[in-house]
Structure formats: structure tokens, C-alpha cells
Structure 1
Amino acid sequence: MQYFQIQRILGILVMLFSSSMLLPALVGFWYGEPALEAFTTSFLITIVVGFLIWLPVKGQRKELRTRDGYLITVLFWLVLGLFGAIPLFLLDMSVPDAVFESFSGITTTGATVLTGLDDLPRAMLFYRQMLQWMGGMGIVVLAVAILPMLGVGGMQLYRAEMPGPLKENKLTPRIAETAKVLWFIYAGLTLACALAYWAAGMELFDAIGHSFSTVAIGGFSTHDASIGYYDSALIESICILFMLVSGINFALHFLSWRQKSIKHYWQDPECRAYVSVLGALFLVCTAVLIHFEYYDTWTVLRYSAFQVVSITTTTGFGVTDFSLWPTLLPFLLLYASFMGACAGSTGGGMKVIRVLLLYKQGSRETKRLLHPRGVFPVKLGGRAVPDRIVEAVWGFCAVYVFTFAVMFLMLLSSGLDFVTAFSALAACMNNLGPGLGKVATHYGDLEAGVKWILSFSMLLGRLEVFTLLVILTPMFWRR
């Protein structure tokens, strides 16, 4: 294990992260808010600590190994969430609340302990939105575009950070170029989203803030009523479009840009499954809401389309309180969040491709019962998937479900009712945000211990379970 090299990289990344507190400070200065002092103090604390971490080992120059990549990825997300809580703590939030809000932002979960967002300092609102934007594609992927210039190889970080069972595929031959391509696409989508919101009638500040959380599939808003604050079909349509696009594997966006064609979107089996599931859920929600006569037909279509895309992609925006819908629908959408968006996107959940492989593997086992000697390869896009990947997917899902069950029991032991405990854990571990029961609107009323458990579950979900759990095994630390 290259401990000195890990320390050096961690110091560099902490110093880089400190710059994220300067923009909110400028926003506070622009609007003449007292929050300016909290962000400037946080910037100084963060950059000084980062410098002190880096200084003793600044001369280290060694290539990272796979284990080093996993450790620094986990350490950085952990440290990032803790340092990100400093300005929130200085703005009079308790330690559990500040850490919860920070982890929720950087993991793009979107669960919040705050109420009265419309009256909060704009610097604070901007900071929350920006945390989600940085966490969306993964700040580690951003770092690997910079670290090679500092003499640090980035492939190990990239493999530890990027989600999905096929994550070792690269868009370009060099990892730094891959990271730059991903962030070019990411920034381009964010700019397009902000301009679209602004043109549709959002104030510029809100347009920028909501573009950050939309493309990041985060869900934080600058208003308590979320997107429902605007009551605009046009704004909702723009939001749906960019949530859909951000939930697709960014490698497909790269191919579309390079080949000037969109045909490969439908040729990709994961993307087809993603769109098909969203379409099916929309039809079910529409039929149920029309049957129970909740709204007029036009409103049913608007709300169904928005909430299906928002919850399934794990964004978490709202135009209405979906927890008040007929009991079937809230749980159906919550179950859909376990699937989440596509691998290689900014979404959470287990990822569509894993669910698709589970379905195909289940179908293969059924065929084997009827034809024990038959050979039935699992195929995606006409190509056989190696058994090693199928086994890894089964292992991932087993660990995911087992971890969920253990943490669910921990929440029940704290005194939470079944619906609140289940939905809160599902919303945090899937990086969704809104839940049911007592957490339908916010998490502020939960006990401090529960908030710590849910903060850990956000990190667990963001790092896709294995990346975090692997460093807790004795084998990881053996030479």
C-alpha cells in the first residue's frame, strides 16, 4: 500500500475541494449576506488542512495500485463529506444535520433536513446545489484529469469510482482524456439545462441552481415546493428531458457526439430497457390516478410523467406529494428506484444493466430446469456476457440486499415505524432523497443516530457497496 502517495493525493484533492467554497462566498458577497464569513472561514480551514496533509509527502511520485485506488476513493468521499459540512455547521446547523446535508449533497441523494428553503441565504442554497453538481459525475473523475499533470496515474481511481459492471471500458485510450470527455459532456448538459430553465421563466439564480441538481440527478431545490413551485408544464418538460438524458450512460452521449448519430441509443440494450421501464411505469401511474380520479386528465399526465422519471432515475424532484397517491404507486416508484438509472450515468440505484442481467440470468436458470444439458449464454446486444460478470452482478445484488436488510433492522431498532424506516433507507441507499411516512418532506425530525446511519447508507450507495465494504475486509489490509 502506497500510504505516502495516498496522503499526498488526499491533500491535493482537499485543497482542490476548498475552492468550492469560494463561489458561495462570492454569492454571499453579491447579495450582502452574513453567510460570506462562514464560507471564507471554511475555505481557509479546508485549504490549510489540505496543505498540511500534502506538505510532508509532497515529493512522493509512485503509481497507484488497485488497492490504493479503492482506499483513496473511499477516504476522499468520506473526507469530502466531512469538510463539506463545515460551512453548514458554521451557519448554525448541528453536527449530525450538517454532515447529513453535506453527504446528501455530494452523493447526489437529495434528502434534506432543512425547511424554509425560500428564506435561507442564497449563498447556502447555491452551495447545496453545487455540492450535488460536483458529486454528480464524481469529483474523483474530475481529479484524474488533473492528477496526471502532477505525476499521478489515474486508472485505479477511475475503476474504483465509475459505476457499473462494465466500468473498465474507456472512451479514449488515456484515462485523463476520458475524464475530460466526461466532464465536457457533463458541463455542456448543465449549461444547456440552465439556459433552457432561464428561457422558460426561471430566475437566473434558480435556473443555474436547478441545472446543477438536474444534470447531477440530485434533487436539491432552492424552494420547499421543489419544481412544483413554478407550476409550469414547460419547466417540468425541460426537467423531464434532462433527467432522462442524465440517466443514460454518458458513453452513449460521447458516441452520439463523435459519430453525429443517435441510432446507438436504441441499439444499446440497457438504454432500451431504461426507456421501456419508464414507459411502463408511466402507463401504470396514469391508469391508477385516472381510476381513482385524483386530478383532471391533463394534470394526471403531467404529474405521472414527472414523478415516474424523477423517482426512477433517483433524482427526487417533486411537483406534488406522491406519498399521498394510492398506496400502490408510492411503493411501486420506490421499488423502481432500486433499479435506478443506467450504469455510467449520474443516477443511483443498482443500475438498469444489473437488473437486466439478473432477469436474463433468471430466464437462463428457468430454461436449465427444463433442459439440464442445454447451453444458454446470457446475451446483451447480441453478444454473450462472460459468466464472470454475471457472477459479479449476482454477488453485488446479494450484498446490496443483505446490507439493506441489516441497516433496515438497525433503523427499526431506533423506534422508527416500518414505512418510514424502509423508505428512508431505500431513498438514501439508492441516492433518491424523498421517502414516505415521516420523511416524505424532510428528514429534520429524525434522531441524530438515525441521521448518522442514513449518512453512511448514502456513501454506501454512492460507492456501490463493494468499493466501501472491500476496505473493511481483513484481506484488503494483508500484504
Structure 2
Amino acid sequence: MSLLVILRIVGLLLMLFSLTMVPPVAISLIFDDATWDAFVIGLGISFATGMALYWPTRHARRELRTRDGFLITVMFWSVLGLFGSLPLMLAEDPSLSLTDAVFESFSGLTTTGATVLTGIDLLPESIRFYRQQLQWLGGMGIVVLAVAILPTLGIGGMQLYRTEIPGPLKDSKLTPRITETAKALWYIYAALTLACFLAYWLAGMSWFDAIGHSFSTVAIGGFSTHDASIGYFDSATIELICVFFMVISSLSFGLHFAVWREKRLRHYLVDPEFRFFIIFLTLLVTITIATLMLSGTYTDTLGLRHGLFEVVSVATTTGFGVADFTAWPGVLPFMLFIAAFVGACSGSAGGGMKVIRILLILKQGLREIHRLIHPNAVFSVKVGKMRISSGVAEAVWGFFSAYLLLFVLMLMVLLATGLDQVTAWSAVGSALNNLGPGLGSVATHYGDMPALAKWTLVMAMMFGRLEIFTILVLFTPAFWRR
């Protein structure tokens, strides 16, 4: 492991990230909201720090190893989250504290969507745009974008790609070269964003709201330019557009690439994860709408609209809102929140444990039942036509075990800060699943939580975004041995 090479790369990436503060400066000047200086100062500090890391190590050259990829990925997301908080602290409005600014920044970059802010409608337009932009950049992962750029600087990228792409099957590539893979992912991501923007705009959103919400929709993020989220527009058309793009963006981008390359929609239908995901959503929507209508919560078509929207929003870990689902009757709030633990498909920008992992756990459970019935028989676990190796199965169970352990540890920390049980466990679950809204006192915002709880949730967001093991591996002695 070469720390000089790692510092050089992190310095380069930080300088690139600093340039993302240019668009908010333009927005500030367009709307004359007098906040441009906060972004200019943030840009200057970020670029200067990146240069300070890069310049002394600019001649360091060495082929990246897997261990380097893990360390760079974690350092990069940590550094980005910290420096991304600068404009939020420097701006007079909202003028956040260090803790709140870091929380908001990490929530954006990890596409969690939890917020400490209230009165979002009254914030400067540049701040509102910046929050949405953070989610868009974090959606596919700035590391993946960097993988497409860094090879031109003489830096290999496969190690970074393996540690960044979510899901249990990380070694599959869409194209023979990692640079082309990263570019293909971003072309699809950008195309979906443009299509989402146009649909929102044609449906009646202003160009500002359409851009902001297309960023957070395709990123499965949930940040909005309004306190009332999508409910602000009170439009069935906009809600249906949002539902469509939330579902599309929750699917594997590798699957999108296969469909686009071969021009065959059949790839969706034969994909086991896609089928399981759609069936799961359909079942949740049916139960939710039926419960809302039978309980008399809604007596008109609002039951259909709100039921469909909230199920898709929570189950895909997006976190947009058109109604307060936490006030719904019976088991619905708990059921929807648990659905976020399943999350989106692997290879997407969504959170949760990923649909493919849940599918594998279910199939392995069925195999154990069959073994009890037929002790001498040999059963294999298959996903579609693919036989799952014991290594992948063990990795899935290992992830599940680590997930539960981290969940319990963080839950105890939040309970120790004085939070009630419902608030504590839902806040940890929301952060670890990159969902955003929780239950109890965090149903709307996280601003009133103790500082220790917020920093714990920042760690939970990071663990969720980087899928736990990418960070945990850094705490093992074997990782640091030569």
C-alpha cells in the first residue's frame, strides 16, 4: 500500500469535486440570492486542500491494489462529505453548525435524504439547488465518475469500481474495459435524468423544480426544494411521473445497459431480481390501498394516489412524500418502513439490503427446508439459470449478520442519548438503508436530535452507502499488514 499514491488520488478527486460548486454560484447569480460567496469560498478551500494533497505527491506512481481501492473509496466519501458541508456552514442562510452541515452533506451524497432543515421553501435558491446536486452526484457515485476520468491521468480504476458498485455480485463488468463501463453507467444515468427533467417540466413544474427533483428522483435520494416534498405540487400527473422514474432508477443499471445495447425489453422480464422486485412492490401497493380504503382513511381517489406513491417512495428508499404515512392506520407505517430494509435492486442508486440479497436468503431458507425433508439429497441455489456458489451465499449471510450487528450497536448508542425506542430504531434503520424519513420524532426532520446521535447516523449513512464491508475491512489488522 502506497499512502503517497492514495493522497495524490484523493487530492485530484477533491479538486474535481470543488468544481461542482460552480453551478450553485451561477444559480445564486441568476436568482440574486446573495449566497454566491459561500460557494466561492467553499470552492477555494476545497481546491486548495486538494492541491495541497496532490502537489507534493504528484510524481508518485504505482498500480492500485484492491486494498488501495478500499481505502481510497472510504477516504473519498469521507472527505467529500466534510468539504461538501462548507457552503452550508458559510452561507448566512441556513448558517448550519458543523454537526448539522456535515449531517446534511453526508445525507445528500449518500442519497439518504434525511434533513435537519425546516423552512426549505424560504432558503436561497442556490442552497436548495446545491442539496439536490449533492444527491445527483452521489447517486451513481462520484468514484465511478472518477474511474472514467482517472485512467487518462495514468491511474487504474478496477479496484475502485469493485468497492463502489453496490450489490453482492461486484466483479461483473458491462464492457471489457472499466473506463467504458463507468462511462456507460453515467450515460444511462444522465439520459434518465434528462428524461425525468423533461417529464416534470412538461407536467407543470418550473425549470428550477424540475431540475432539482429530477436530480433527487433518479438518484433515489428524496431531497426536495419544498418542505411538502412532491405533495407541494398536488398533481396526480407529477406523482405518476415520479413513481415511474423511482421504479426505473431502482433497477440495476447493468440491466438497463443490457436492454439498451441489445434493444430487447425481454431482459427485464427474464431477470429474477426484476420480477421479485415488481411482485414485491405490487403486493405492498395492493395491501396498502386496500387497508386505506377499508379503514376509511381516504374516501376518494386520494387513497389510490397516496397509497401507490408512498409505497414506491419508501420501498425504493427514495423518501419523497405526498402524505404522512406514519399516521396511517394499523400496521401500514411499520410495514412500509420494513419494506425499505429490502430496498432497491443491486447495481442501482437505491439503498437497503438489496432485493437480490433478500431473494438469495429466501432461496437458501427454502433449500434448508427441503434438506430436512430429504436429508440425502443435494440441492443447489439458483437465481434464474445461474447456480449460486457457496462463496456468494456465505457473503450474503455475512453481510446480513454484519448489518444486524451494526444496527444493534448504533441503536444502543441512540438510545443512550435519550431518544425513545421508536425514534431511535427508525432513525438507525432509515440511515443504514439510505431512506430518509423515519418514525416518531424523525418523521419530518432530524434537527432536534442530539449531536452524538447525528454523528452516529452519519456513520450509518456511510456504512449503508458503501455496503458495510468496504468500511469494516479497514478495521481489521490483516488489512494493514504488508
Q: Same fold (TM over 0.5)?
A: yes
Are positions 1:349 and 2:389 aligned together?
A: no
TM-score, length basis structure 2:
0.99
Aligned match of 1:30: 30
Superposed counterparts of 1:155-234, under 5 Å: 155-234=158-237
- C-alpha displacement of 1:405: 0.8
Superposed counterparts of 1:27-426, under 5 Å: 27-91=27-91, 92-426=95-429
Which amino acid letter does the alignment assign opposite residue 341 of structure 1?
A
225-234 vs 293-302, which moves further: 293-302
Superposed counterparts of 1:429-444, under 5 Å: 429-444=432-447
Tell me the matched-pair count: 479
Superimposed CA distance per residue, residues 246-298 of structure 1 (whole angstroms, 9 cap, x where no aligned partner): 00000111111111111110100000000000000001101111121011241
Which amino acid letter does the alignment assign opposite residue 71 of structure 1?
L
CA RMSD of aligned residues (A): 0.7
Which amino acid letter does the alignment assign opposite residue 20 of structure 1?
T
Within 2, Cα distance between the matches of 1:406 and 1:369?
Answer: 34
Which amino acid letter does the alignment assign opposite residue 262 of structure 1?
L
Within 1, Cα distance between the matches of 2:32 and 2:362?
Answer: 55
Which amino acid letter does the alignment assign opposite residue 65 of structure 2?
R
Aligned match of 1:456: 459
- C-alpha displacement of 1:233: 0.3
1:467 to 454, 470, 473: 470
Are positions 1:478 and 2:478 aligned together?
A: no
Within 2, Cα distance between the matches of 1:461 and 1:393?
Answer: 15
- C-alpha displacement of 1:472: 1.1
| 1:416 aligned counterpart, secondary structure | coil
Q: Unaligned stretches of 5+ in structure 2?
A: none
- C-alpha displacement of 1:162: 0.4
Aligned match of 2:17: 17
| 2:301 aligned counterpart, secondary structure | helix
- C-alpha displacement of 1:327: 3.8
Which amino acid letter does the alignment assign opposite residue 136 of structure 1?
G
- C-alpha displacement of 1:26: 1.0
Within 2, Cα distance between the matches of 1:6 and 1:169?
Answer: 25
- C-alpha displacement of 1:392: 0.5
Which amino acid letter does the alignment assign opposite residue 418 of structure 1?
Q
Which amino acid letter does the alignment assign opposite residue 439 of structure 2?
L
Which amino acid letter does the alignment assign opposite residue 71 of structure 2?
L
Which amino acid letter does the alignment assign opposite residue 120 of structure 2?
L
Within 1, Cα distance between the matches of 2:412 and 2:291?
Answer: 32
| 1:408 aligned counterpart, secondary structure | helix
Superimposed CA distance per residue, residues 189-214 of structure 1 (whole angstroms, 9 cap, x where no aligned partner): 00000000000000000000000000
Within 2, Cα distance between the matches of 1:298 and 1:327?
Answer: 20
Superimposed CA distance per residue, residues 22-77 of structure 1 (whole angstroms, 9 cap, x where no aligned partner): 11011111111121110000000000100010001101221100000000000000
- C-alpha displacement of 1:357: 0.1
Superimposed CA distance per residue, residues 90-112 of structure 1 (whole angstroms, 9 cap, x where no aligned partner): 12110110000000000000000
Within 1, Cα distance between the matches of 2:396 and 2:233?
Answer: 41
| 1:144 aligned counterpart, secondary structure | helix
Within 1, Cα distance between the matches of 2:193 and 2:299?
Answer: 33
Within 2, Cα distance between the matches of 1:169 and 1:42?
Answer: 38
Which amino acid letter does the alignment assign opposite residue 109 of structure 1?
T
Q: Which runs of 4+ in 1 moved over 2 A?
A: none
- C-alpha displacement of 1:5: 0.9
- C-alpha displacement of 1:376: 0.6
TM-score, length basis structure 1:
0.99
Within 2, Cα distance between the matches of 1:359 and 1:421?
Answer: 28
- C-alpha displacement of 1:452: 0.6
Which amino acid letter does the alignment assign opposite residue 21 of structure 1?
M
Identity level (%): 59
Which amino acid letter does the alignment assign opposite residue 122 of structure 1?
E
Q: Unaligned stretches of 5+ in structure 1?
A: none
Superimposed CA distance per residue, residues 374-409 of structure 1 (whole angstroms, 9 cap, x where no aligned partner): 101000112211111011000000100111011111
Which amino acid letter does the alignment assign opposite residue 43 of structure 1?
L
Within 2, Cα distance between the matches of 1:258 and 1:457?
Answer: 36
Within 1, Cα distance between the matches of 2:471 and 2:219?
Answer: 21
Which amino acid letter does the alignment assign opposite residue 68 of structure 2?
D
